[in-house]
A and B are shown apart, each in its own frame.
Chain A
């Protein structure tokens, strides 16, 4: 483990962009974990006059009912990251396993999994997510499930391809010679070698998942006001941009952008650290 840490430090020192991504990631996680305890105002109660521009007291200004936008942006981090993490965790486990099984076993497993993925892919993904939430009910859990479902084909395709190229790799043949069953080979030989590639995908799709969750909230599906959530806040602030109160929509929008940007940068960095071939 300490070898991994040393390696991580080595990678970061040679790659400032990745170091920046890790820094931003740490900031986001800190905001999600301790943010609600640190913010100066209650995110769902009026903290001053309505529609105040940013000031020393209200860093990001106040919204239409006088709530502190800064407090709301920080508090929303937990919900937005939480939904995205949960969705990606679900699809990472299920998508990677089914994709790897399809690529490794081939035959009917491959055909069934492939058809399911194709069916999901056939829909415009955001519309599909809307449909799932609309049909199953307006809850946070359903946003998570919808986001996981629309990401499923991506995970299946990547892990299927990667498992398929390894199904007769030398070390897989060697494991067969050692008497291991096909199932054990999939779990012990194939999957660990898929992890670096899947970690990159996890990081990239975390950004997309955040956008997807916020997007669903933006159009009024899922999280309900007055819960602080970036998508809702952008939606609430959108109508005030015309009248000059730009801060209500801008700051949650920036937070959203920052989160997506962070996870996209993180993707490349993670690959370098997880890949054992780069370890010296």
Chain B
């Protein structure tokens, strides 16, 4: 089966205002490298986790994939169609191509905007305070699926029911809903158009732990039903381990490690992944098992040195070479990739 989403060499650089209005006071333009050379593929029905600390570019990557931001370079192909080059401002206006051309989970035409939807971290802020829950869910359907009247009403109610939102709540404004209910509205709005790709930007981070579990269950059952592919951004490695098939670990805009969730968490190959995994409290961890603690802050993402590993300085196993050359990407068995001069492969660990 071909990939639903193919991302190749994706980059996003934000210009950092070059100073004064007068040309003589203008400094050389500097760039914040938010996302650098990210490539991966995603199949329908698969869940890809994006992990990394705050500011590593995972939210920017999520917005690039959702086509809310324009990439500086690189390609995003959805169902074989290049969508990375279409400006975000025009992306919403592209009509459906011939029926079946878009990778839809249901037969029929669908504009590309309807095929990629996103669930936001801040459920409260992502619903217009002047819209009812019904209106919030109805808006994408009205605009993208061209539904109206009774047809729209049944579709909204069906979607809401699917997301565990009782019909009585649909008339309420966001401030009259609980956190979990707002999260459900956000999810219902995103899945209303039955997208083939759902980008989830830390959808549960603002919720109580008990509500988190329920929402994660909901997301899983929705995926089983619709077969959509998920890109799941999260801080919470336990959640990622639970939900994701594969994981991308990001550090300062770069993917440092990619692999199946099981093996990546069981035997991290990149020192940063090892530190991340080690920082999670796991019941039943053996005593004496070493934990890597990172010291210091990440380097600045503004105009980073291309001739050095970005993790150098915080890396517990860094050597002189890491300051002089960017690490190559090693392909490991099982589709794993790691960007490190000294990956902690099974062989290396056995030798140590």
| Apart from A176-B92, A181-B93, A192-B128, 10 more pairs, CB < 8 Å | A169-B125, A170-B126, A171-B125, A171-B131, A173-B126, A175-B128, A177-B116, A178-B92, A179-B93, A179-B140
Which B residues between 110 and 143 are near A, CB-CB below 8 angstroms?
A: 111, 113-114, 116-118, 120, 122, 124-131, 136, 139-140, 143
B98 interfacial contact with A, CB 8 Å: no
Contact partner of A175 among B89, B116, B139, B175, CB < 8 A?
A: B139
Which A residues between 156 and 205 are near B, CB-CB below 8 angstroms?
A: 169-171, 173-182, 189, 192-193
B125→A181 contact, CB < 8 A: no
Provide the residues of chain A in CB contact with B139, threshold 8 Å. 174-175, 178, 180
Interface bits B82-126 vs A (CB < 8 Å: 1, else 0): 000000110011000000000000000001011011101010111
Complex alpha-carbon distance, A175 and B88, angstroms: 13
B219 interfacial contact with A, CB 8 Å: no
B130→A174 contact, CB < 8 A: no
Instruction: Given the known inter-chain contacts A177-B68, A179-B144, A279-B173, please indicate yes or no for A171 contacting B127, CB distance below 8 A.
Output: yes
Contact partner of A178 among B88, B124, B143, CB < 8 A?
A: B143
B170 interfacial contact with A, CB 8 Å: no
A277 interfacial contact with B, CB 8 Å: yes
Contact partner of A179 among B111, B173, B189, B190, CB < 8 A?
A: B111
Complex alpha-carbon distance, A277 and B129, angstroms: 7
Provide the residues of chain A in CB contact with B228, threshold 8 Å. none
A170→B122 contact, CB < 8 A: yes
CB distance from B206 to the nearest CB of A (A): 11
A179→B143 contact, CB < 8 A: yes
B163 interfacial contact with A, CB 8 Å: no
A177→B130 contact, CB < 8 A: no
Contact partner of A173 among B89, B120, B129, B144, CB < 8 A?
A: B120
Provide the residues of chain B in CB contact with A176, threshold 8 Å. 68, 88, 92
Residue of A173, A174, A175, A177 with most chain B CB atoms under a 10 A cut-off: A177
CB distance from A263 to the nearest CB of B (A): 25
Interface bits A202-215 vs B (CB < 8 Å: 1, else 0): 00000000000000
B127→A174 contact, CB < 8 A: yes
B66 interfacial contact with A, CB 8 Å: yes
The closest CB in chain B to the CB of A195 belongs to B130
Instruction: Given the known inter-chain contacts A179-B113, A276-B129, A276-B173, please indicate yes or no for A174 contacting B88, CB distance below 8 A.
Output: no
The closest CB in chain B to the CB of A280 belongs to B176
Instruction: Given the known inter-chain contacts A175-B139, A177-B118, please indicate yes or no for A170 contacting B129, CB distance below 8 A.
Output: no
Instruction: Given the known inter-chain contacts A182-B89, A276-B130, A276-B173, please indicate yes or no for A177 contacting B125, CB distance below 8 A.
Output: no
The closest CB in chain A to the CB of B199 belongs to A177
Interface residues on A, range: 10 to 19
Instruction: Given the known inter-chain contacts A177-B118, A180-B92, A181-B93, please indicate yes or no for A171 contacting B143, CB distance below 8 A.
Output: no
Provide the residues of chain B in CB contact with A175, threshold 8 Å. 128, 139
Complex alpha-carbon distance, A145 and B129, angstroms: 35
Provide the residues of chain A in CB contact with B120, threshold 8 Å. 170, 173-174
Residues on B facing A (Cβ under 8 Å): 66, 68, 88-89, 92-93, 111, 113-114, 116-118, 120, 122, 124-131, 136, 139-140, 143-144, 173, 175, 186, 189-190
The closest CB in chain B to the CB of A173 belongs to B68
Complex alpha-carbon distance, A246 and B143, angstroms: 66
Complex alpha-carbon distance, A182 and B87, angstroms: 13
CB distance from A26 to the nearest CB of B (A): 27
Provide the residues of chain B in CB contact with A177, threshold 8 Å. 66, 68, 92, 113, 116-118, 140, 190
Provide the residues of chain B in CB contact with A192, threshold 8 Å. 128, 130
Contact partner of A181 among B66, B92, B111, B136, CB < 8 A?
A: B92
Complex alpha-carbon distance, A177 and B128, angstroms: 14
Complex alpha-carbon distance, A141 and B104, angstroms: 60
A170→B93 contact, CB < 8 A: no
Provide the residues of chain B in CB contact with A180, threshold 8 Å. 92, 139, 143
Provide the residues of chain B in CB contact with A279, threshold 8 Å. 173, 175
CB distance from A188 to the nearest CB of B (A): 9
Interface bits A249-280 vs B (CB < 8 Å: 1, else 0): 00000000000000000000000000011010
CB distance from B243 to the nearest CB of A (A): 22
CB distance from A103 to the nearest CB of B (A): 17
A193→B128 contact, CB < 8 A: yes
The closest CB in chain B to the CB of A179 belongs to B92
What are 16 A-B contacts with C-beta separation under 8 Å? A170-B122, A171-B127, A171-B129, A171-B131, A174-B126, A174-B186, A176-B68, A177-B92, A177-B118, A178-B144, A179-B114, A179-B143, A180-B92, A181-B92, A192-B128, A279-B173
Provide the residues of chain B in CB contact with A174, threshold 8 Å. 120, 126-128, 136, 139, 186, 189
Provide the residues of chain B in CB contact with A171, threshold 8 Å. 125-129, 131
Contact partner of A189 among B128, B173, B189, CB < 8 A?
A: B128
Complex alpha-carbon distance, A279 and B131, angstroms: 13
